[in-house]
Homo-oligomer: A and B are copies of this chain.
């Protein structure tokens, strides 16, 4: 049984079905608050797995974990003007506690800056404290969003953030490149999801940042940003008085950066990019179950098969694989569907024939191809399958991303491309400074697309004129619809 909705035909319904109890049951939206979903065991395990990969990356590069409260005093948000104007409209306020009105109300953190930086102001004192690199993970944040969708936009959602302070802008900017490398290592290399990093236009930065860089994947023709890293310059440091004594005993403002891998967006990417009409397709390393063993039973001779299955499960468990023998009463066909839906990378089928011939039938989730192997080759095959599965879905995703990036020289071309091909369109643009904002607003009004930014790290040469105002183009910008 494939999903009722087909990915190619009606992606949106396919996504909803796959996320729901009728599909892989990742999020339950029947909880009584819009945009606040319940994450099921399967989803929690997947998110934990890649969250831990990111934790390892940032820790290996000198970040230490910290944990701040969910609630923040009102006074904290007011310090950085741009930040407050960006986030205040989305805040939730706690106004009552212990049966009465609170003397000072507090808000639920929408992101960590305003709660973390007052502490940094206390903790950072000397040039010896720098670079100062911390992160908090396994937390949630809260934003009053009007439209919500599981793993794409929530009113409460999983969050991860690093917050760093450096002595100068060079070091800070170097960190931003490291941030991009963590994303490359985890999101691309381990999860098989390619992206491009763009530098956002000045009118679309994180509230309070000097520059924002976004990692853009394409899901069903629209941009799904899976991570952002921000250059804060000294703006927050000035507002929150994050200062250090330099070697000459002079007080200096710190230079700050922050990385926010979008945990739920990465999850949405895994679903939307790798999933197919039979359900999830998960890389071996993050699959909550990596191998499922299913008995193929005929007539009454089942004892040998069941024994073999149990023995296999035990052997593979001892080798630290996440493996399950599904000995339930359901039919083999039902089990195939169930574990395909959940995205288990490898299925081992064991029937009387396999037992007799000391063979096993293996099925890889992505290709659904069957192969009969000698039992003694199992370990080698598992490793091969794990590698090949990732390689295959990664290549497929890379090709898709490549095919989703188009070029247009005029507004008419852009409009047509967005209409027919979707994805991202590279167009000549007047400016990504604030003087280009009017063109962007007009573009958005007419096409519902946004200027995502310029490609990071490559100075893509602009030719011709801005597709909106006709002034000489300074940049090639990437334009797309987004989630």
Chain A residues packing against B (C-beta within 8 Å): 28, 30-33, 36-41, 43-45, 48, 64-73, 75-76, 88-99, 106, 108, 115, 118-119, 122, 134, 138, 140, 142, 144, 146, 155-156, 158
Chain B residues near A144 (CB-CB < 8 A): 97-99
Nearest B residue to A146 via CB reads B98
Cβ A70 vs Cβ B32 within 8 A: no
Nearest B residue to A106 via CB reads B33
Cβ B69 vs Cβ A30 within 8 A: no
Chain B residues near A44 (CB-CB < 8 A): 65-67
Main secondary structure of the interface of A (DSSP, over half): mixed
Cβ B93 vs Cβ A38 within 8 A: no
27 contacts between A and B (CB under 8 A): A28-B119, A28-B122, A30-B119, A31-B68, A31-B115, A31-B119, A32-B72, A32-B75, A32-B76, A33-B73, A36-B69, A38-B66, A38-B67, A39-B67, A41-B64, A41-B66, A44-B66, A45-B65, A48-B65, A69-B140, A69-B156, A70-B70, A93-B94, A93-B97, A97-B144, A98-B144, A99-B144
Query: Which of A44, A69, A70, A122 counts the most B-chain CB atoms under 10 A from its CB?
Result: A69
New A-B pairs, 5, CB < 8 Å, besides A38-B69, A39-B66, A93-B97: A39-B68, A70-B140, A88-B99, A89-B98, A97-B144
Chain B nearest Cβ from A144, distance in angstroms: 3
CA distance A72 to B33 in the complex (A): 7
Chain B residues near A138 (CB-CB < 8 A): 138
Chain B residues near A65 (CB-CB < 8 A): 41, 44-45, 48
Cβ B41 vs Cβ A71 within 8 A: no
Query: Which of A33, A72, A99, A158 counts the most B-chain CB atoms under 10 A from its CB?
Result: A33
**A73: which of B32, B68, B75, B98 is its contact (CB, 8 Å)?**
B32
